[in-house]
Structure 1
Amino acid sequence: MNDLPAPVPFLDLLRIEELDQNLYRGRCHAGAPLRAFGGQVAAQALTAGGHTVDPERTVHSLHGYFLRPGDPARPIVYQVERLRDGRSYATRRVTAVQGGEAIFVFSASFKRPEPAAGERQRTMPPVPGPEELEDAFAVWAATSPEDFATTTGFHSLEMRFVPADAPGLPPEPAGVPQQFVWMRTGTPLPADDPLVHACALTYLSDLTLAPTTALHLQKPRFQRSEPNQVALASLDHAMWFHRPFRADEWVLYAQRSPSASDGRGLALGEFYDRDGVLIASAVQEALLRELRSPSG
């Protein structure tokens, strides 16, 4: 098994520079060859929008559209619009611009905490804990060392895939592939900054959600050595944050894909902490096209 590089500080992936009021600049690593990782673009957009909001208000939802692939070799400028500041809620729109063109548009809503009227949630499946599972990046480094070496940004986190035959997994409905992955940042995050943890979870949420739509065609990138069978790209992404959490502690990402058609796939995800608390939900639509063989 290959030795893994030491993780770089995860906070470096969220760092942006303030250029002027409501104007920020950042850089994103590649998620695929010559394409900036969409989860980092969304996380930096949330960082930019969150910097213009009263810290007492925490993000509770975000919605984004990926318009063009970002270039990881060039900086990205984030333009923030302050759409609303009400007594309880605040709304921000962020446009990520590169080369004079919008590559990502994003809106986020923030609110002040308030007492719950009566809480409920779906129960987390009793899956094996992360300590019992293989390190996904160690497996990836061993099976696809060249691919692994080109994606240094992912070295700032940890992942453990739950095997499909693990005890406790709910049965997979016909036509609805599913996967369960433990995740966390590879380095500690500030304990007293909910925005940082929300941005980190936004980054994590984009790692395996689109690949869930293609599980009927191929294994996720981190678990296979064979070439891609499909073209995958995030089209839009939405998240809802339900309860406080820490992204530098293990969270379970329960994902399923109820539909694939018309060159698109839909995936739903739920995040749980180690105590089984549902902390966030995510939905993503992805471009999903089978690749033709060179002779096809």
Structure 2
Amino acid sequence: MAATSGTAKPRVVSWGELLWDVYPTEARLGGASANLAFHAAQLGCESLLVSRVGRDELGARALELLRNGGVDVSGVQQDDDVPTGEVRVELVDGEPRFAIGAPAAWDRIRLTSAVAARIRHADALCFGTLAQRTPLVRGELLSLLTELRDAELAGEAEAPRDAKASRDREMARSDRGPLRVVDLNLRAPFIDAGFVLDALEHAEVVKLNEAEVDALRHLDGAPADLRVAPLPWLTSRVRLVAVTRGSRGALLLTEDERLEHPGFPSTGADPVGAGDAFTAVLARELCRGTPLAVVLERACRYAAWVASRPGAQPRPDAALLAALD
């Protein structure tokens, strides 16, 4: 059953990359999906990460750190042939620039029967496009997403939704499978219209930043109406769109509603991971049936705090967690 009360612990599954962000002076654990899983755990969710690491020192360290952060890493596979992923990170005018190494273990994520069972009973499944850069992982994920969507459609046919139910509560359910949340996480040179359109076809909630909105306008192979007006195109097809705007906060969009938040002050020490933290709050609160205005305020607050700390996975203190609950 879905988590629908303010005290329940939503079951959140993150599918995708687990890697090390390599800065000029140090290496820090990262990867959008791993960051999201970490923050979901910090926020009190039952957080499962589905990824893959090499059977090497970096992989062992990654698993240890995530376990210590409360993440269930039973869905993280180990690869005997390909190393744990690494990404070179450089901050340019306060914004991160990435050079993503390949091959990497997370290019070989497999869908096991045990993981599939966990996902079917989760409250939210969060995924992106970067981990779909290999046909293997893309095929595994799309097979799962197709199954989940078909199960949802079958459930709707048997028990139509109450037309008067609020959208906030409508997303707090797992009787038709997990809420499907996609963080586009577009990273050159792995931006592909096929990846993006497949992800959007199966998504119910889409999170992207302003640069990614602009990237959709220039996405070769995308429908003309998507390129002309990305946000109206998205809101006509999914339940909720979240657009992050850095220090200027974020907005939430549905077909008939637009909510904006100006953001919270941040020192801007390191923006890496702030968007993933935003998505973690978004997933948790939607699973709990929280009103959208509150969802937006909490997500902006947490993202600003993460951006003011070094690394993508800082641990929040009790005062911050209380402000988010």
> Normalising by structure 2, what TM-score?
0.24
Q: Which has the higher helix share?
A: 2
Q: Which has the higher strand share?
A: 1
> Normalising by structure 1, what TM-score?
0.26
